Structure 1
Amino acid sequence: MGERKVTVAAEVGLHARPAATFVQRAKKAPMDITVTRSYGGEKVNGKSILAIMALDVRQGETVVISAEGEGSEEILDELAEIAGTP
């Protein structure tokens, strides 16, 4: 399973427009994508805008984005770029 640890860069955190952009890209991926806070907690569906926004991730906080399957490394790189700074 591939994963990226990302510090959220957007001023609004992983909410509103950044969350929508993230989910739109994630939905195009053929594999499951999960997002969790870096310090643990619930893994949520990276293709669900409600799940992503419910994490309430703020600017400067770190998340772990995970995916498994063919092409997952490229998708993880794209999602990490959308979310913030790897």
Structure 2
Amino acid sequence: MSLTIQIQSLIFSFVYGLFFATIFRLFSKYFNTQIKYINIIIIFSFVLFNALLYFFCLSIVNNGIVHFYFLLTVLLGFLIENKVNDYLKKYKK
């Protein structure tokens, strides 16, 4: 895999982590039920759908080659978006 494809894949993974954190927050805010088992099934389905979407988009970007550092970059994007959101909530009030 060339260096440009790796950089494109890292940028895509980071942006997808930001996207996933935002969508997950909205999803858990609006689709929260009182029944624990239903909640687990809904969240599992949501995460599974997003994982499949990530791998589908990654197959477009770099022919589906997955490296461990791509997944770490998704996690980094997820964590950074959560920290930025907490920071903005703190100063919003």
- The TM-score normalised by the length of structure 1 is 0.31
Which is richer in helix? 2
Q: Which of structures 1 and 2 has the bigger CA Rg?
A: 2
Which is richer in strand? 1
